[in-house]
């Protein structure tokens, strides 16, 4: 139980450091790789969704542990390139917030859909996150370096979620469901904001 408390404390600190205002304005962003890493880490909406993908994948278990995060990252890269091209995607911010709500509910309700359905859901949500990342490419920055940065940051957040799932599934499954409910409520708050 002490390990659960430590991991939850680390998650709270991480979330406390994140702020949605920095993720979508480009203010103070550095160029290339570093900007790519910072974009998902300093947007509360991105942090919550990406940790939720890993948490849900870990709780579902089996092949979902790899399929959900891989589908998310792969589609995020495609959508990131789309965003870098300057193409518009209506409702990006709403789609990001909805992803937090739905992923949180999936965790809270202990949903274990067929592998293809869960993988598809993660890929669909990644479209919104990836487009947001790509559209925020800083002027003059390397698109490749930037993409590599946001892919690595996303993978790290998925890994955090998978790690939390490993601890919670074995020691505190009710806490995992409560965390899912908290994620869903946070998504609702993001939608309302």
Q: What is the pLDDT of residues 125-141, one digit of tens each?
A: 999 999 999 999 998 88
- pTM, two decimal places: 0.83
The pLDDT score that the predictor gives to residue 39 is 86
Q: Which residues contact 119 (CB under 8 A, 6 or more apart)?
A: 64, 67, 68, 71
Place of tokens 């990001």: 96
pLDDT at 193 over 90: no
Q: What is the pLDDT of residues 159-177, one digit of tens each?
A: 999 999 999 988 999 999 9
Domain assignments of the chain as residue spans, ordered by start: 2-192
CA nearest 31: which of 148, 137, 150?
A: 137
DSSP string, 52-119: HHHHHHHHH-TTHHHHHHHHHHHHHHHHHHHHHTT---TTHHHHHHHHHHHHHHHHHTT----HHHHH
Work out the mean pLDDT of the chain and round it to a whole number.
87
The pLDDT score that the predictor gives to residue 6 is 44
CA nearest 153: which of 39, 13, 62, 64?
A: 39
Separation of alpha carbons 147 and 83, rounded Å: 11
Is residue 165 within 8 A of residue 8, CB to CB? The reply is no
The pLDDT score that the predictor gives to residue 151 is 96
The pLDDT score that the predictor gives to residue 110 is 96
The pLDDT score that the predictor gives to residue 96 is 97
The pLDDT score that the predictor gives to residue 22 is 39
Q: What is the pLDDT of residues 5-56, one digit of tens each?
A: 344 334 433 433 443 333 444 434 456 899 999 988 999 999 999 999 999 9
Q: What is the pLDDT of residues 54-112, one digit of tens each?
A: 999 999 999 999 999 999 999 999 999 999 999 999 999 999 999 999 999 999 999 99
The pLDDT score that the predictor gives to residue 188 is 97
């Amino acid at each position: 139980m002490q390990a659960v408390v430590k991991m939850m404390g680390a998650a709270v600190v991480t979330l406390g450091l994140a702020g949605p205002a920095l993720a979508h304005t480009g203010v103070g962003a550095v160029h290339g790789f570093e900007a790519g890493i910072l974009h998902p880490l300093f947007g509360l909406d991105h942090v919550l969704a990406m940790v939720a993908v890993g948490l849900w994948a870990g709780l579902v278990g089996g092949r979902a542990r790899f399929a959900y995060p891989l589908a998310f990252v792969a589609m995020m890269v495609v959508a990131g390139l789309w965003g870098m091209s300057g193409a518009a995607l209506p409702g990006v911010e709403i789609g990001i917030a909805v992803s937090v709500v739905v992923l949180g509910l999936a965790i809270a309700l202990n949903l274990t859909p067929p592998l293809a359905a869960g993988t598809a859901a993660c890929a669909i949500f990644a479209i919104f996150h990836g487009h947001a990342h790509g559209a925020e490419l800083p002027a003059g920055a390397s698109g490749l370096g930037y993409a590599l940065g946001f892919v690595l940051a996303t993978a790290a957040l998925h890994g955090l979620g998978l790690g939390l799932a490993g601890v919670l599934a074995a020691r505190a499954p009710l806490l995992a469901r409560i965390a899912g409910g908290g994620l869903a409520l946070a998504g609702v708050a993001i939608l309302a904001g």
